[in-house]
Amino acid sequence: MKKLLTLGLLATLVIFLAKKASMKHEKWHGLSEVEVRTRLGEKMPSQMPDDKRELVSDKIVEKMRDRGVLLDDDVEIDLVDGVSEEQTTA
């Protein structure tokens, strides 16, 4: 009985952590570059020099762009059906 209870608690913990990570990912997914840089600026310590902040932001934005997380500025999304103009023409 203890093994079953332990397994259940472990499974609950794993599910909770996976949902939390998913929510964090969704929070940053689909933002424009300006929005990402603004949020990063808020998250970085105020003691950090401006040139260092810009360097860190550049690297993070570059990685996000490579992974396809950033929203392209030239793509408009129709909020009614969630299909981008680029997808309908392709």
- How much is the pTM? 0.53
Burial of 70 (0-12, 13-18, 19+ CB in 10 A): buried
User: pLDDT value at position 73?
Assistant: 56
pLDDT digits (tens, 9 = 90+) for 8-48: 999 999 999 999 988 887 887 878 888 888 888 888 888 88
Average pLDDT (73-87) is: 51
Q: Which residue has the higher pLDDT, 12 or 85?
A: 12
Given a cut of 70, whether residue 89 has pLDDT beyond it is no
Task: Please state, in angstroms and rounded to a whole number, the distance separating the CA atoms of residues 57 and 36.
Answer: 8
In Å, how far are 2, 7, 8, 10 from 14, measured between CA atoms?
A: 18, 11, 10, 6
Q: Which of 3, 9, 39, 34 is nearest to 24 (CA)?
A: 39
What torsion do the CA atoms of 78, 28, 67, 16 make, to the nearest 10 degrees? -110
Q: For tokens 């472990």, what's the residue?
A: 10
User: pLDDT value at position 5?
Assistant: 94
